[in-house]
Chain A
Amino acid sequence: DIQLTQSPSFLSASVGDSVTITCRASQGISSYLAWYQQKPGKAPKLLISAASALQSGVPSRFSGSGSGTEFTLTISSLQPEDFATYYCQQFNTYSFTFGPGTKVDTK
Chain B
Amino acid sequence: EVQLLESGGDLVQPGGSLRLSCAASGFPFSSYAMTWVRQAPGKGLQWVSAISASGGRAYYTDSVKGRFTLSRDNSKNTLYLQMNSLRAEDTAIYFCAKDSMNTVTGSFQQWGQGTLVTVSS
Contact = CB atoms under 8 A, between A and B. Distances in A.
Interface of A: 1, 32, 34, 36, 38, 42-46, 49-50, 55, 87, 89-91, 94-101
Given A98-B46, A98-B47, 5 more contacts: A1-B62, A49-B100, A49-B107, A89-B106, A96-B47
Nearest to B46: A98
A101 B44 CA distance: 7
A63 B12 CA distance: 42
Contact of B45 (A49, A50, A90, A98): A98
Secondary structure of the A contact surface, majority rule: loop
Contacts of B55: none
A51 to B, nearest CB: 11
Given A49-B100, A95-B62, A89 B109 contact: no
Interface of B: 37, 44-47, 50, 59, 61-62, 95, 100, 104-114
A97 B47 contact: yes
Contacts of B62: 1, 95
Secondary structure of the B contact surface, majority rule: loop
Contacts of A34: 106-108
A1 B110 CA distance: 24
Contact of B109 (A38, A55, A98): A55
A43 B112 contact: yes
Given A44-B95, A49-B100, A89-B106, A100 B44 contact: yes
A95 B47 CA distance: 8
Contacts of A90: 106
Nearest to A50: B107
A45 B95 CA distance: 12
13 contacts: A32-B106, A34-B108, A38-B45, A43-B95, A44-B95, A46-B109, A55-B109, A91-B106, A91-B107, A94-B59, A95-B47, A96-B47, A98-B46
